[in-house]
Amino acid sequence: MSNSKSREVQIYPITPNTRIFRSCTWDRLKFEIEYALKKGTTVNSYLIEGEKTALISPPGESFTEIFITELVNRIDLKQIDYLILGHVNPNRLVTINEIYKRAPQITFVCSNPGAKSLKSLFESTYPETIKTNNLNILAIKGEETLDLGEGHRLEFIPTPNPRFPDHLCTYDTKTQILFTEKLFGAHVCKYQVLDEGWNVYNEDRKYYFDCIIAPYAGQVSKTLARIKEKEIKIYGVGHGPLVKYGLKELTSNYQTWLSKQKSQEIQVALIYASAYGNTASLAGAIARGITKAGVGVESINAEYAEAEEIKAAIEKCAGFIFGSPTLGGHAPTQIQTALGITLAAAEKTKLAGVFGSFGWSGEAIDLLESKFQNAGYRFGFETIRVKFKPTELTLKTCEEAGTDFAQALRKKQKSSKPKALAKGNEAGTSELALGRIVGSLCVVTTIQDGVKGGMLASWVSQATFNPLGLTVAVAKDRAIESLLYTGSEFVLNIMAEGRHSGLMKHFLKPFAPGEDRFVEIEWEEGENGSPILKESLAYLECIVSNRMECGDHWLVYGVAKKGKLLDDEGITAVHHRKSGSYY
């Protein structure tokens, strides 16, 4: 095992002729929304040795040196016949180039779009390499096979989606391992290679699905249908522990989650292009904000989409959002084409949104904004302009913007429906009875990597004596929800009767995406870093121990690590409601 700071490579035999090389990091690898749980990740590569040898999915440049060191310690690189790429991106090219310089005999295997990307990347980044060596590429255009000998017959399954148009899965008929690249993974780093006790990864896998898979539900559903007939013992995932013990359950969960995503009554068309990956990162965060609010999203990469696909998405959506980089002072041609289709096909009642990243100027973003404004579209959030790479705060702002957009669409739909009639029915009576349950008025506060969150809460209850624990119900579309995953720390500020109204009004008001919730609020930092409100009656510093999905809310279970009564003369402010159908 090789080690470099917080990076290391773990090697493990899965079957007699198949080994995994797990490039591990306990740090957040990228500023992308799917890494936001900050549990690290593994980038999984695989070596299959038959009569011929294949290496599958080498890691990115963060691991280039230690990965190649471990690889050459175990095999002469000149013995590798094939380098199979389930996905091609510039970050991986550094490692690919180092391998190729040492082993020019290698044949690259990737999907047809991947072959075009690989050739283009080499020509622009490492022209000297391909001048010295011929670039041997086997482009997979359909469900083709490759025989490595000794029973290892590889079946290739192109599984494109808008974010990864070159996505390719590989199935080994001998070991019955499906190498899934981006499917069924999770960004979590532990020494555990297989998924024994697989339930512990449920939250991580669901979060990964919500961020990576949900916006492409249609395409991924087709992929699941294509692999359904194969006898699969292990998912050789691209990230996280391999899926063996929980394979049936995870596959079933994917089918359920995909069906739910596709059946959402309200849909958003998210159309973007991305030159360096920054705009794609923003798109991912916006998509996550939309889906967490219970609205469907169809993400479309304009660089690969057909005109009819864009037109169909625009016609059926309730709102659309455009994202673009600025290249040479202009929007990419594909974005301009999609813009023309949208202006011609979208009704003026549809909600619009614009975002984008740029280096030195942002003309493309200005173009999109002005075109939609001049056409009379209403915007669901203020236009987002990001210079260079996004930060933690930028991604949180984008997520909140996506949630605001979805909430605006839901509000619009609700106002257009006829109001319910009498309350004398059974449901109405139950709601009136439920509303008589009272709760303490509290404010939940937290800070994660400089991103602050605050929420008024009255659905709070003590849950356990040992450990001292409590539960807080958090609506899925609340901004603070994404800051309260397992392991996150927060403060429960309990309000005092008679001086709670100011704080209540403050935290009830709508906040713009990324807006500081604590302006003009007196607070001090707790030991866990979260704000303690000075007007509180008491407070508890807590850590999230567990979460349970409950309809339109998450039930967050927190263990109290420290607490203090700030006013022993005061009494707790209590929230009285008339109905259980609203706060």
Residue 342 Cα distances to 16, 271, 311, angstroms:
54, 10, 7
The rounded distance, in Å, linking the Cα atoms of 315 and 349 is 12
pLDDT above 80 for 203: yes
- Is residue 459 within 8 A of residue 494, CB to CB? The reply is no
The rounded distance, in Å, linking the Cα atoms of 356 and 274 is 9
pLDDT above 90 for 578: no
Element (H, E) at 255: helix 247-262
Phi, psi of 548 (to 5 degrees): -130, 130
Model confidence over 209-236: pLDDT tens digits? 999 999 999 999 999 999 988 999 999 9
Model confidence over 5-29: pLDDT tens digits? 578 999 999 999 999 999 999 988 8
The pLDDT of 454-478, averaged and rounded, is: 96
Model confidence over 477-503: pLDDT tens digits? 999 999 999 999 999 999 999 999 999
Q: Which of 431, 444, 426, 465 is nearest to 532 (CA)?
A: 444
Residue 235 Cα distances to 259, 353, 370, 576, angstroms:
21, 38, 47, 51
CATH class of 265-416: alpha beta
Structure confidence at residue 419 as a pLDDT band (50, 70, 90):
low
- Is residue 352 within 8 A of residue 320, CB to CB? The reply is yes
pLDDT above 70 for 422: no
The rounded distance, in Å, linking the Cα atoms of 496 and 538 is 8
pLDDT above 80 for 250: yes
pLDDT above 60 for 4: no
Model confidence over 273-304: pLDDT tens digits? 998 889 999 999 999 999 999 999 999 999 99
Structure confidence at residue 359 as a pLDDT band (50, 70, 90):
confident
Tell me which fold the domain 2-260 belongs to. Metallo-beta-lactamase; Chain A (3.60.15)
Structure confidence at residue 421 as a pLDDT band (50, 70, 90):
very low
Q: Name the β-bridge partners of 464.
A: 469
In this prediction, residue 277 carries a pLDDT of 86
Query: Tokens 């987002």 correspond to what residue?
Result: 384
Structure confidence at residue 368 as a pLDDT band (50, 70, 90):
very high
Structure tokens at 582: 């609203």
User: Coil, strand, or helix at residue 110?
Assistant: strand
The pLDDT of 60-79, averaged and rounded, is: 95
The rounded distance, in Å, linking the Cα atoms of 369 and 371 is 6
Most confident of 238-242, 324-328, 415-419: 238-242
* DSSP notation for 107-144: EEEEEHHHHHHHHHHHHHH-HHHHHHS---EEEE-SS-
pLDDT above 60 for 2: no
In this prediction, residue 289 carries a pLDDT of 96
pLDDT above 90 for 361: no
Percent pLDDT > 70 in the chain is 97
Q: What's the distance, Cα to Cα, between the start and end of the chain in Å?
A: 54
Which CATH number describes the domain made up of 434-575? 2.30.110.10
Q: Which of 467, 455, 427, 438 is nearest to 557 (CA)?
A: 467
How many CA atoms does the CB half-sphere of 395 hold within 13 Å?
Answer: 25
Domain with CATH 3.40.50.360 in the chain: 265-416
The pLDDT of 456-460, averaged and rounded, is: 96
Domain with CATH 2.30.110.10 in the chain: 434-575
- The most distant pair of C-alpha atoms in the chain lies apart, rounded to whole Å, by 82
The pLDDT of 345-366, averaged and rounded, is: 94
Structure confidence at residue 418 as a pLDDT band (50, 70, 90):
low
User: Coil, strand, or helix at residue 109?
Assistant: strand
DSSP letter at 106? -
The pLDDT of 91-103, averaged and rounded, is: 94
pLDDT above 50 for 1: no
Structure confidence at residue 424 as a pLDDT band (50, 70, 90):
very low
In this prediction, residue 431 carries a pLDDT of 87
Burial label for 131, CB within 10 Å (0-12, 13-18, 19+), is exposed
In this prediction, residue 426 carries a pLDDT of 53
Instruction: In the chain, count H helices and then E strands.
Output: 14, 30
Query: Tokens 């780093």 correspond to what residue?
Result: 189
The rounded distance, in Å, linking the Cα atoms of 86 and 166 is 7
**Residues 502, 504, 510, 513, CA torsion sign:** positive
The pLDDT of 174-203, averaged and rounded, is: 95
- Entry pTM: 0.88
Mean pLDDT score of the chain, rounded to an integer? 93
* Extended strands (E) in 213-265: 234-237
In this prediction, residue 59 carries a pLDDT of 96
pLDDT above 80 for 144: yes
Q: How many CB atoms lie within 10 A of CB 80?
A: 21
Query: Tokens 């001086």 correspond to what residue?
Result: 499
pLDDT above 70 for 558: yes
